Structure 1
């Protein structure tokens, strides 16, 4: 099952952050990831959203995303983003093979 890294970034020092932004895509690709959302216009349609940018990368599976996140390659470039903003990172699994409404009937007799 594919997995996704979803990052909410509030960049406070874009000039310093640029070095991290240039270095990361090559490492992401090396570990099997690719970007689905990065840059471009983002528009809030409902609810309150802080002045953040959302970046979403797709991975073959959770193990590949975690291999990237915990790799020596990423550890070498992660300090480039230190002090450049605040970041929230979420790892989420892709689509389940079982429909969501099927979970309501699990374990119940027909």
Structure 2
């Protein structure tokens, strides 16, 4: 069953942000993930505060998503994240197809 990494990010440093994005994209693909949303325009319909940049990545399973997050390949991106961006990161289990 699919699992999703949902991030709400705010860029802190443009150069580090681009490096982070490049490394993260390669590692996501290696672990079977694919971007569903990657920073397109977001409209607040209900609630607050206004959304920041939203990223949604689908992985084949929650296990694969968790493997990606703790992988040595993604560790390099995590180190950059400290200066590149502020983030809220949520892992969500998908639903079984009907």
Q: TM-score, normalised by structure 2?
A: 0.89
Relative to structure 1, is the Cα distance of residues 14 and 51 closer, same or farther in structure 2, using a 3 angstrom cutoff? farther
CA distance in 2: counterparts of 1:78 and 1:36, whole angstroms: 21
Q: Which residue of 2 aligns with 1:42?
A: 42
Q: How far apart are residue 51 of structure 1 and its match?
A: 5.1
1:61-93 CA-partner distances (Å, limit 9, x unpaired): 100000100101101222122122311111000
Q: Structure 2: give runs of 5+ residues left out of the alignment.
A: none
**Number of corresponding residues:** 98
Q: Which residue of 2 aligns with 1:59?
A: 59
Q: Do the aligned residues in 2 keep the contact of 1:10 with 1:51 (CA within 8 Å)? A: no
More strand by share: 2
Q: How far apart are residue 4 of structure 1 and its match?
A: 0.3
Q: Which residue of 1 aligns with 2:7?
A: 7
Q: Do the aligned residues in 1 keep the contact of 2:7 with 2:55 (CA within 8 Å)? A: yes
Q: Do the aligned residues in 1 keep the contact of 2:12 with 2:85 (CA within 8 Å)? A: yes
Q: Do the aligned residues in 2 keep the contact of 1:7 with 1:55 (CA within 8 Å)? A: yes
Q: TM-score, normalised by structure 1?
A: 0.80
CA distance in 2: counterparts of 1:85 and 1:22, whole angstroms: 14
Q: Which residue of 1 aligns with 2:81?
A: 81
CA distance in 2: counterparts of 1:61 and 1:80, whole angstroms: 26
Please give the root-mean-square deviation of Cα atoms over the aligned residues, in Å: 1.7
Q: Structure 1: give runs of 5+ residues left out of the alignment.
A: 99-110
